[in-house]
Structure 1
Amino acid sequence: MKGWLKDGKAVSPVVGVMLMPVVTVVLAAVVSSYAGGMAGTQKKAPQASFAVEIRSAETTGWTPEFVMKHLGGDPVDTDNVKLVTKWYNESTGKWEIQETTAVPWNESGQICYYDNGGSCLWTNYTDVNTEYADGTGNNTFYHAPYLVVPGDMPADGSGEETELWFGNYVIQKGDVIKAQINLNMGTGQYQNQRTPIIANATYLKPGDIVTVELIDLTTNAKIFSKDVVVQ
């Protein structure tokens, strides 16, 4: 009996030492598998490059313009991103920040559009892009920047009316989106762009710098960010 106990005590530490690497390897495999699963299910933001031009009213001779072209990389669904612009307005001495997202809906199925004062107005229209705000067909509320489609102008009541508007299309390589930034201050069909793309863009002058960003709403990651010199 004494010999058996003696032998058992001698073997026990050796077995423990031999088991430690095995346990370590097993734990490492479990952790690696778990981490790999987490990484595999985590949604990634699109990766893409863009060229942006912003033209002042002084340059265009009419109203400021915003033009953005997809140069390459992943397609970007405008329903899942927000377009952010920011610039310092020397005339007012403050930063001008504007965010553009897809047209919001409420639980009643109403669409939010904005009047010239920036107030959210809820409407029962099933399509904010083609319905008329006053019921007579004078003012079309729409959602820029629009997707440039050759031969198809926005808010003209024909063509790809639904597909043209931010939040409804996917930007792919070679695609161009555009906004005449202050159409909401015009007349007729150009009176009521849903939101400005650049806040107080009438104050823009050549040489001003506007930071333009595309941010993925599901991950909050920046897809694109650039300081653009106004032309």
Structure 2
Amino acid sequence: MKTNADSAVSPVVGVMLMLVVTIIIAAVVTGFSGGLVGGNNQKAPQLTMDVKIENNGYVDGSYFAATVTGVSSSINTHNLEMVTTWTKTFSNGTQINGGGNATPGVMNTFLDWQPNGWIASDYWNWTSPQGFGPGVGAYSYFWPVGKVLAYPQGSGSGSKGSFTVADMMAGKVSNASWWGNYNLMVGTTMYARPFGSAGNPDQAGDPGTLLNWGYGCGGVGPYVYSYGSGMGVGGSSGQVNFIQGVEVDAMQGLLGTNWNILRNGDIVHVKVIDVPIGKTIWQNDVVVGGQNYVGMSGSN
């Protein structure tokens, strides 16, 4: 015999089941939407930069320089990747593509030379562009030397210690100016230049060093790399081994090994990506500048 109490059980159970299902669905939807907010919907930092790319055919006067003009807050380059891409179209319709990138912890510059008289000739590899100014730690030079050294910066030669490439590779010595090791703030400058003779800052060593190897060096003329091995003249007079296909200078690492075909008026697309959130925080088409450096000696 069916009672009124029995007939009331089914509706109650049904309502309870509906409530349980609703709660489960709500929890799933909340978790999914929360994942989106915590992932790609993170607020990207704001960045503005003034970027210049110059190529006049010689080491002096050819460079990549990016200066931060605005930033929402200090941005660690350890979280950033810089990417460059370009297409060169010649008058006969031939197109050549190029580009490079700066990724924290991934070296893009490989040079075998003696930066100055107190550093042994060895492989010096780092990640360009290097940083200068605000946001860059102490002991940041153009040379790939460390911020934690056996001697203070500016000390006399008698008190200078020593370090090796192996020390840098093991993390015992790391340069504050390498991409990935500094922060972007208003005024931070990121810089790269081709390998070659004296300048300040200078990859050849002490200012005054002249090389027969490098970009526009050795009398080869503008827009051409001169490759070879030997000693520099004047300044640090260090040993240089600049071998094609082996050594890669900072401009080649950042813009591509064929960057030297770029001329005044060509376009390079540059973008900076915030890797953790997967968003581009700055990008622009940069017009290459630079006229032939009249009066510049091919050996300089």
- TM-score w.r.t. structure 1 length? 0.66
1:212 aligns with 2:222: no
Partner of 2:254: 197
Contact 2:50 2:69 in 1 (8 A): no
Partner of 1:107: none
C-alpha distance after superposition, 1:83-140 (max 9, x if no partner) = 1100012257211021222344xxxxxxx66547xxxx9xxxxxxxx988x9536985
Contact 2:99 2:259 in 1 (8 A): no
What secondary structure does 2:78 align onto? helix
Partner of 1:47: 45
2:143 to 136, 143, 155: 155
Bigger mean CA offset, 14-23 vs 202-211:
14-23
Name the CA distance, whole Å, in 2 between partners of 1:57 and 1:137. Answer: 29
Q: How far apart are residue 52 of structure 1 and its match? A: 3.4
Name the CA distance, whole Å, in 1 between partners of 2:115 and 2:275. Answer: 28
CA 79–70 in structure 1, closer or farther in 2 if over 3 Å, else same? farther
Name the CA distance, whole Å, in 1 between partners of 2:35 and 2:267. Answer: 40
C-alpha distance after superposition, 1:118-174 (max 9, x if no partner) = xxx9xxxxxxxx988x95369855432121228x75229747x82122121121244
Q: How far apart are residue 63 of structure 1 and its match? A: 1.1
Contact 1:78 1:102 in 2 (8 A): yes
Name the CA distance, whole Å, in 1 between partners of 2:20 and 2:265. Answer: 64
Q: How far apart are residue 53 of structure 1 and its match? A: 1.9
- 1:60-71 counterparts in 2 under 5 A? 62-71=61-70
- 1:34-183 counterparts in 2 under 5 A? 34-35=31-32, 38-39=35-36, 42=39, 44=42, 46-58=44-56, 62-91=61-90, 93-104=95-106, 114-115=109-110, 136=120, 141-149=125-133, 153-155=141-143, 158=153, 162-180=175-193, 183=194
Partner of 1:19: 16
CA 32–138 in structure 1, closer or farther in 2 if over 3 Å, else same? closer
C-alpha distance after superposition, 1:44-79 (max 9, x if no partner) = 474222223223224997213332415112433222
From the two aligned structures, give the one with the greater helix fraction. 1
- Segments of 5+ residues of structure 2 without an aligned counterpart are 135-139, 146-152, 155-173, 205-247, 290-300
Partner of 2:222: none
CA 103–25 in structure 1, closer or farther in 2 if over 3 Å, else same? closer
Name the CA distance, whole Å, in 1 between partners of 2:141 and 2:110. Answer: 22
One-letter identity of the residue aligned with 1:51: M
CA 141–38 in structure 1, closer or farther in 2 if over 3 Å, else same? closer
One-letter identity of the residue aligned with 1:50: T
* CA RMSD after TM alignment: 4.0
Name the CA distance, whole Å, in 2 between partners of 1:42 and 1:59. Answer: 45
Name the CA distance, whole Å, in 2 between partners of 1:98 and 1:218. Answer: 20
C-alpha distance after superposition, 1:181-211 (max 9, x if no partner) = xx23x13652574553212332222322211
What secondary structure does 1:154 align onto? coil
Name the CA distance, whole Å, in 1 between partners of 2:282 and 2:275. Answer: 13
- TM-score w.r.t. structure 2 length? 0.53
1:223 to 257, 261, 281: 281
Contact 1:87 1:211 in 2 (8 A): yes
Contact 1:143 1:193 in 2 (8 A): no
- Segments of 5+ residues of structure 1 without an aligned counterpart are 105-111, 122-129
How many percent identity over aligned positions? 18
